Amino acid sequence: MRRSASLLQVLLVFITMVATQWSSVSSTYCKDMASSVYRPHSVTITEFGAVGDGVTLNTKAFQNAIFYLNSFADKGGAQLFVPAGRWLTGSFSLISHLTLSLDKDAEIIGSPDSSNWPAIDPLPSYGRGRELPGKRHQSLIFGSNLTDVIITGANGTIDGQGAIWWDWFYNNTLNYTRPHLVELMYSTDVVISNLTFKNSPYWNIHPVYCSQVLVQHVTILAPLNSPNTAGINPDSSTNVCIDHCYVRNGDDVIVIKSGWDEYGISFARPSTNISISNITGETRGGAGIAFGSEMSGGISEVRAEGLRIVNSMHGIRIKTAPGRGGYVKNVYISDVTMDNVSMAIRITGNFGEHPDDKYDRNALPMISNITIKNLVGVNVGVAGILEGIEGDNFSSICLSNVSLSVQSMHPWNCSLIQGYSNSVIPESCEQLRTDCGQTPICYDGGSSSAIHAQEPRHRLWSATRLLNPLLKSATL
């Protein structure tokens, strides 16, 4: 009865929150990107000798088809259609003005032979994620310096068959960095939609140094114990929209990055103008939404709304360390539900791995203007651990309308941070007890010129949709 009463108390608070109409905002660049474009030229992969039996290696067929379609790039672009079947392949590269389209019963599957994922040199700004100096394996689907690229379908599947890579990782027998499932670099006008991604050897979707990126209606699946299988990883990219996705994996559901230590600082390519909405995620080893720890090029102007995080280690997490430099600022997260999450909010100032010993220990990151609003959680272990860095207090951390049913007797642990709070249950830590309702300092998510107001009713629909699963659990 105590648990049911607690659940109902939390839900009543949340109902009160969503009954208050306040304007929603959304990035204009999200509306400008189309998930489908008419291509006047189309071929099917079977026209190039591909066999969809799950055994025949079709790398050459994919490469030859795309080489052929390149002649239509300046004639309205082209489409490569993958019909029903299991199409085994090694790495292949895309071209500009291309749509890669999968039938609903089509599966592109990555070869278990690592020689079919060629080793390539890292970028000059290496240190993206956990990439170390030296060679790295090319991603299964790869592209660089492209424009107008669409990877889509009728919910077909791209399967990296990552189990063998995970074994090599755990056995310390890897010579190079593991490949991503899809990686696009230095590209613009990218759409990834209506597909299922499975069993990536490493990260799943990795746009790096890109702009105008839409990831929409995507499902990402990997075992909960799979290493580093983060879902969607915008990295040093701008104008990114992630919407209506489901992710269940072994690492962060969505994680934003921008370079590692001195390499990210010198390259100075930030991640900015990022819109995230309507995401459901489950992860045993990561967070529902994370920032860093590689954030040395800077992360700013991020708005995330309509997040449902279940059965996970962390809900919201910022990771950084001395030596990172850079910043995470102007982040607005709202309309979040959590169920069975070990720690709702975590800010870590000592997430300490470095690519080498050349980093500047005096390069301290700036963490500021972080607003978390309209958050409800049940079956939460700890409300939050928020830890800054000595001599580098993290500032303007603002919590508003946060209601958590917490199991721990010590729900908050805060040090070296400064901020504000309003309507937080259980009561926030002392460092945040100045009322954010009485100060204009808290970031309201509206400072970016690329953001505009939407109809309030969308806010109410989104909140109600997220509330329904918790109402159901309260009545059990």
Is residue 449 domain-resident? yes
Tens-place pLDDT, residues 78-131: 999 999 999 999 999 999 999 999 999 999 999 999 999 998 876 554 444 455
Q: Residue 50: inside a domain, yes or no? A: no
Range(s) of the domain holding residue 105: 2-39+67-74+88-474
Report the pLDDT value the prediction gives residue 133, as an integer from 0 to 100.
56
* 44 part of a folded domain: no
pLDDT in tens, 131-156: 555 678 899 999 999 999 999 999 99
Amino acid occupying residue 186: Y
Residue 350 counted as domain residue: yes
User: Average of pLDDT values for 241-255?
Assistant: 97
Domain count for the chain, please give it. 1
pLDDT in tens, 407-426: 999 999 999 999 999 999 99
Tens of pLDDT, residues 361-400: 999 999 999 999 999 999 999 999 999 999 998 999 999 9
Cis, peptide link before residue 200, omega less than 30° from 0: no
pLDDT at 472 over 50: no
Average pLDDT along the chain = 87
Q: Domain for residue 51, yes or no? A: no
Q: Which of 220, 217, 213 is nearest to 241 (CA)?
A: 213
Res. 458 pLDDT band, cuts 50 70 90: very low
- Please tell me the number of Cα atoms within 13 Å of 170 on its side-chain side: 10
- Residues 6+ positions from 385 with CB-CB distance below 8 Å: 343, 345, 346, 347, 348, 412, 413, 414
Please tell me the predicted confidence (pLDDT) of residue 28: 64
What is the pLDDT at residue 441? Answer: 79
Q: Which amino acid is at 97?
A: H
- Active site members: 251
Q: What is the pLDDT of residue 440?
A: 65
In a domain, 122, yes or no: yes
For the cut 60, the answer to whether the pLDDT of residue 21 exceeds it is no
Rounded average pLDDT over 57-73:
97
The answer to whether residue 27 sits within a structural domain is: yes
Cis previous bond, 234, omega within 30: no
Q: Is residue 60 part of a domain?
A: no
> pLDDT tens digits for 312-339?
999 999 999 999 999 999 999 999 999 9
**Residue-level pLDDT at 32:** 67
Q: Determine the pLDDT at residue 85.
A: 98
Q: Is 475 exposed, middle or buried (0-12, 13-18, 19+ CB in 10 A)?
A: exposed
180-223 pLDDT, tens digit each: 999 999 999 999 999 999 999 999 999 999 999 999 999 999 99
Host H or E run for residue 30: helix 28-31
Q: What is the CATH number of the domain that holds 103?
A: 2.160.20.10
